Amino acid sequence: MEEQQLAAELGFADVAALATATTDFCHGDYTWAVTPLPDGRYAAWDSGGYDPRIYATWNEAVDDQIAGSLTGYEFSDSVFAYLEEHPNHHAEARRWEDEAGRITGWIIEICDESGRDVGAGLDECWGS
């Protein structure tokens, strides 16, 4: 899908209007975007494919993208070794929100069975 077609499909007059309304997120090599739509819903899409999915809220759109990032997340060998040695531990995304409760970023951490962080954050992602 071309950018102009995406803009029109989402209800924007042109690519510039779409770009102004959009927040881009980057997680490693994976880039995606969330845009409030003129009808009050939100669109999220992978910047490489322009195949938007529509959501009722900002946080639903961002949460779905976070889940997709975690599914495809590639840990280093040392993290895999740690998780093998500690089978009750897991990777978890912790979210940051602004004053309005909108997700603005997250960090992936290694947590124990109670959800307590047991080490430094592995990766961060922020919207811009």
Q: What pLDDT was estimated at residue 118?
A: 72
Could you list the residue range(s) of the whole structural domain that residue 83 is in? 3-126
By percentage, how much of the chain surpasses pLDDT 70?
67
- Over residues 10-60, the pLDDT tens digits come to 999 999 999 999 988 876 666 788 999 999 999 998 877 678 999 999 889
What distance in Å separates the CA atoms of residue 2 and residue 35, rounded to the nearest whole number? Answer: 17
Q: Average pLDDT in the 71-92 region? A: 68
Predicted confidence band at 75 (pLDDT cuts at 50, 70, 90)? low
Task: Tell me if 128 sits within 8 A of 105, measured CB to CB.
Answer: no
Q: What pLDDT was estimated at residue 79?
A: 65
Q: Domains in the chain: how many in total?
A: 1
Task: Tell me if 104 sits within 8 A of 113, measured CB to CB.
Answer: no
Q: Average pLDDT in the 82-110 region? A: 73
State yes or no: pLDDT of 109 exceeds 90: no
Torsion of CA 73, 74, 78, 81, to 10 degrees: 80
Mean model confidence pLDDT for the chain: 77
By percentage, how much of the chain surpasses pLDDT 90?
23
Q: Average pLDDT in the 111-122 region? A: 68
